[in-house]
Structure 1
Amino acid sequence: MKKCSYKPIIFAVIFLLLFIVLARYTEHRNLESLKGVTYSVTVNGKDINLPQVSDKAIAYKKSNLNIWTISFILTFLIPIFFLATGLSKGIRNFIERRTRRFFIISGVYFIIFTLINFLITLPLEFYSSFIQPHNFGLSNQTLVKWLTDSLKSVLLSSVTGALFIWFPYYVIRKKEKLWWLYMGFLSIPIIFFMTFVSPFYIDPIFNKYEDIKDKNLKQKIEVQLKKANLEGTDVYQVNKSVDTKEMNAYMTGVSKSKRIVLWDTTINNLTNEETLGVLAHEMGHYVMGHVWKSIILGGVLIIFVLYLTNKSVLYIIKLSKGKLGFNRISDIAALPLILLVLNFYMFLSNPITNTVSRRMEIEADRFELELTQNTEATITSTIKLHEGSLALPYPGKLFEVWYYSHPPYLERVEFAKDYAPWEKGEPLMYEKYFNKE
């Protein structure tokens, strides 16, 4: 029998530490190169200036980098804490002394695990989502609203997790050698289902949907929806100005649950033409099937990640010789170990998922330009959206590859400037999606 070694674990730890050091180093180098930098583009003979990279934006990025570092470390340290201290097996033993029903054992364990995790991360979460945005003038949220939303979030995740955590463990117990394959395939319809029901039952817990108050804008949106063959799509606005000064718009749901959502900050800070451009981008994601493509790709990736997770967890259990308080992956006390290893492989898969995502974003940008044929509005809306979030023109390359689901905004501006086939009488790439009536 092949003897287990600690070398793979040591290598993984060294890799993660080196990644933190290299990511921070490359980001600080990038920040130094951006100080005081200005950019401009010319569209139809008109110069459009990008805002100068401000000291405030650089300070905000440095603050975010520190938050990322701590969050990254906690992602791995918290599961290790549960395992190394014996807390995980202690929670399991505490529950098993009171009941032998696994549905209850797994559910109560998950609630306790989630609440402890919430308490450990609470200081960082409070700083990153409340203190920091206020310090940089990005938030309008009151402390009461922040506390309410945070409690809603932890209660929702605790209750739903407690109700369903038994299922993957049931699969593990019944199909211990191939559970990763079953769960990977099952994840695809589950994600489809959640994408469908989320706009109806989950999103309203945190947001109040209202009809678009600007009737002129709503009429223009309906015309654009018809042009994109999306007639009948519900369009709503959300009063996010009570929480933030940042802007956003998105298309959510699938089939009959699909809807377009505009933050009121977007409506208030963009012109109608700029808003239509932002919405055209979101329509592009839906029309070109980016939602279901992402779900299927994610499902395939989950199968591979769960396979590696299964192999690694079994390896560590064998290596630990029962010192962690469990000898089987099907033990609920093994949950922190599963999450620890899963987090590692999900981290390694980031470059793949984000590369695909960035390509989809460029496709959606191209769709937006072809649908609206308004290059200037596309560029100015992109600038305003990113300027309102204190975003930088581009990150360091390592951070872009590993963490950017969207292309850097300077790259998107340059793309918009150069892409205008309609001006040259050339065919449009996505003309087949348009309603020509």
Structure 2
Amino acid sequence: MTRPWIAAAAALTLAMSGLSTPAAAQAAAPHAASAAASTPTTNATTDQAAKADAVAQASGFKIRPVDDAWRAALPRNAEAATQAYLDRLPADVQAKSAAYWEGGYWMQLWNLLLGLAIAAAFLAGRRAARLRDWAQRVGRGAVRRDMLFAGAYLGLSELISLPLSLYQGWWREQAYGMSTQTVVAWFGEWLMATSISVVLGGLALGGLYALIRRAGERWWIWGTAAGMGLMTLMVALAPVFIEPLFNTYKPVEDGPLKRAVLQMAHAVSVPADDVYVFDASRQTTRISANVSGLFGSAAVRLNDNLLRRTSEPEVRAVMGHELGHYVMNHIPKTLALMTLVLAAGFFIAQAALQSLLDRFAHRTGVRRVDDVAGLPLLLSVFSVFFALATPINNTITRTQETEADRFGLALSHEPHGFAEAQLRLVEYRKADPGAVEEFVFFHHPSTRHRILDAMRYREAMNLP
């Protein structure tokens, strides 16, 4: 709640992986089709599946194993084949997955409420005004004062929130068998991430208040432009300067898998000359991958869990999806759509802030919108707005994930590999939610919908 600028940029970076390309999606579609036709394809062998399942079972996540004969015997009907895949998930696995995912809804609420409570505590008794006066004495200048105040407020808020962060980021992940970190290692990364957020957040919010003073009532327009500029900058720079602070990136060893991924990338004009692996197993058992880059650059990256826990067809299917994000320009499109959402948030904040300040001035000692001591109130308005906008933001992301799924299927020609990978994601994502639940809370399509797309592709292309 306390870092809307940094959190928005981080969300874009992690969820969409900094993907862009000058090619339009329509122009890329023929390349995807030709690549699928020319790239050798294989189904997972029994040995590969057994190896992947052994690693998965060691992490406490068990999917009923199958072989190529099972896949070949699947019904041709896409709905029936999808149900056959979902039937491989034991009841206890689905129950554990649903409990974890649904618990995340409550975590969103508790984080929002805690942030609002921290803001209220700072505003009550004129604590924020006294913190501003301290920042004025130390900073000796409006911009330096505002940056110092913002950094101090963000840092104190993170410190107060540490118990909830520890529960959510470490204890809960340990309880569900997904964290591989010691609490000391987790705290070290939390401290580094918090320090980065405090510094960048202080700079960004100090700049925002400079805009507010200069632009007057139209500050929300300039604030939107500055916010989107910052988010774009973070998406471009985070993979290069921030993410390597938490993980080590190195080239994947030469071999058939690396050549297959690069072949797919080159087939759709993604300017990548290597494939990188990073050591996510230091933190988690989750599988993931991304294709990061803006302004004509691209880095194809996957985590070591994906290499250890999955077969080559699964890796190809996952990387086809990630390349789809890049080719279809999803990061620029998301930034454009987020401009509208952010503009609405700034406009509402501008409309509500002055009346809220007038109403509570006797308690807070803050009367002007351009007074940085009102930052807790500004962030509270933003937090409530973005909480209410969750279905909108999720729909934007979910729509693009569906597009990338379908692009990846055409590129990789691996419907079974894609379906197997989706089963593994049930480790932390509810498999079969209701329609309203998926619309409100899911930033990716549900497992059922994603496997159904794969089986429809299999049925249409008459694949085994």
TM range (shorter): 0.7 to 0.9
Q: Quick one: which amino acid aligns to residue 455 of structure 2?
A: K
1:12-66 residue CA offsets vs partner (Å, 9 max, x unmatched): xxxxxxxxxxxxxxxxxxxxxxxxxx9x9x9653253431231433443464444
* Mapped partners of 2:102, 2:330: distance in 1: 33
2:228 is the counterpart of 1:200: no
Moved more, 100-109 or 337-346: 100-109
Identify if the C-alpha distance between structure 1 residues 332 and 380 changes in structure 2 by more than 3 Å, giving closer, same or farther. same
Aligned to 1:5: none
Identify if the C-alpha distance between structure 1 residues 68 and 383 changes in structure 2 by more than 3 Å, giving closer, same or farther. same
State whether residues 234 and 258 of structure 1, in contact with CA within 8 Å, keep that contact through their aligned partners in structure 2: no
Aligned to 1:279: 319
Aligned to 1:341: 381
2:84 is the counterpart of 1:56: no
Give the paired residue count: 384
Q: Secondary structure at the match of 2:308?
A: helix
Gaps of 5+ in 2: 1-63, 75-83
Identify if the C-alpha distance between structure 1 residues 157 and 325 changes in structure 2 by more than 3 Å, giving closer, same or farther. same
State whether residues 199 and 257 of structure 1, in contact with CA within 8 Å, keep that contact through their aligned partners in structure 2: no
Aligned to 1:114: 154
Moved more, 348-357 or 225-234: 225-234
* Of 235, 243, 259, the match for 1:219: 259
Structure-to-structure mapping, 1:28-427, within 5 angstroms: 45-46=73-74, 47-48=84-85, 49-54=87-92, 55-61=95-101, 63-213=103-253, 215-384=255-424, 386-389=425-428, 391-420=429-458, 423=461
* Mapped partners of 2:101, 2:328: distance in 1: 33
State whether residues 150 and 206 of structure 2, in contact with CA within 8 Å, keep that contact through their aligned partners in structure 1: no
Q: Secondary structure at the match of 1:236?
A: strand
Moved more, 365-374 or 92-101: 92-101
Shift of 1:186: 3.0
Shift of 1:398: 4.5
Shift of 1:144: 2.5
* Mapped partners of 2:144, 2:419: distance in 1: 54
Q: Secondary structure at the match of 1:160?
A: helix
The percent identity for this pair of structures is 25
Q: Secondary structure at the match of 1:260?
A: strand
Shift of 1:68: 3.4
Identify if the C-alpha distance between structure 1 residues 106 and 152 changes in structure 2 by more than 3 Å, giving closer, same or farther. same
State whether residues 140 and 241 of structure 1, in contact with CA within 8 Å, keep that contact through their aligned partners in structure 2: yes
* Mapped partners of 2:106, 2:341: distance in 1: 29
State whether residues 200 and 257 of structure 1, in contact with CA within 8 Å, keep that contact through their aligned partners in structure 2: no
Q: Secondary structure at the match of 2:235?
A: helix
State whether residues 317 and 415 of structure 2, in contact with CA within 8 Å, keep that contact through their aligned partners in structure 1: no
Identify if the C-alpha distance between structure 1 residues 189 and 234 changes in structure 2 by more than 3 Å, giving closer, same or farther. farther
State whether residues 353 and 378 of structure 2, in contact with CA within 8 Å, keep that contact through their aligned partners in structure 1: yes
Q: Please report the RMSD computed on the Cα atoms of aligned residues, expressed in angstroms.
A: 2.3
Q: Quick one: which amino acid aligns to residue 416 of structure 1?
A: A
* Mapped partners of 2:340, 2:106: distance in 1: 33
State whether residues 196 and 257 of structure 1, in contact with CA within 8 Å, keep that contact through their aligned partners in structure 2: no
Shift of 1:275: 0.5
State whether residues 151 and 199 of structure 2, in contact with CA within 8 Å, keep that contact through their aligned partners in structure 1: yes
Q: Secondary structure at the match of 1:323?
A: helix
Normalised by the length of structure 1, the TM-score is: 0.82
Identify if the C-alpha distance between structure 1 residues 72 and 222 changes in structure 2 by more than 3 Å, giving closer, same or farther. same
* Mapped partners of 1:64, 1:53: distance in 2: 20
Identify if the C-alpha distance between structure 1 residues 142 and 422 changes in structure 2 by more than 3 Å, giving closer, same or farther. same
Q: Secondary structure at the match of 1:405?
A: coil
* Mapped partners of 1:241, 1:345: distance in 2: 35
Aligned to 1:35: none
Shift of 1:222: 1.0
* Mapped partners of 2:448, 2:300: distance in 1: 26
1:57-100 residue CA offsets vs partner (Å, 9 max, x unmatched): 34434644443342232132222222124221121122234453
State whether residues 306 and 315 of structure 2, in contact with CA within 8 Å, keep that contact through their aligned partners in structure 1: yes
State whether residues 321 and 405 of structure 2, in contact with CA within 8 Å, keep that contact through their aligned partners in structure 1: yes
Shift of 1:261: 1.6
Gaps of 5+ in 1: 1-37, 426-437
Shift of 1:286: 0.9
Q: Quick one: which amino acid aligns to residue 414 of structure 1?
A: L
Shift of 1:162: 2.4
Q: Quick one: which amino acid aligns to residue 169 of structure 1?
A: Y
* Mapped partners of 1:95, 1:192: distance in 2: 29
Identify if the C-alpha distance between structure 1 residues 56 and 233 changes in structure 2 by more than 3 Å, giving closer, same or farther. same
Identify if the C-alpha distance between structure 1 residues 106 and 128 changes in structure 2 by more than 3 Å, giving closer, same or farther. same
* Mapped partners of 1:167, 1:119: distance in 2: 24
Shift of 1:343: 0.9
* Mapped partners of 1:230, 1:106: distance in 2: 42
Q: Quick one: which amino acid aligns to residue 144 of structure 1?
A: V
Shift of 1:150: 0.6
* Mapped partners of 2:443, 2:106: distance in 1: 20
State whether residues 394 and 442 of structure 2, in contact with CA within 8 Å, keep that contact through their aligned partners in structure 1: yes
Identify if the C-alpha distance between structure 1 residues 253 and 372 changes in structure 2 by more than 3 Å, giving closer, same or farther. same
* Mapped partners of 1:259, 1:415: distance in 2: 27
* Mapped partners of 2:88, 2:326: distance in 1: 29
Q: Secondary structure at the match of 1:319?
A: helix
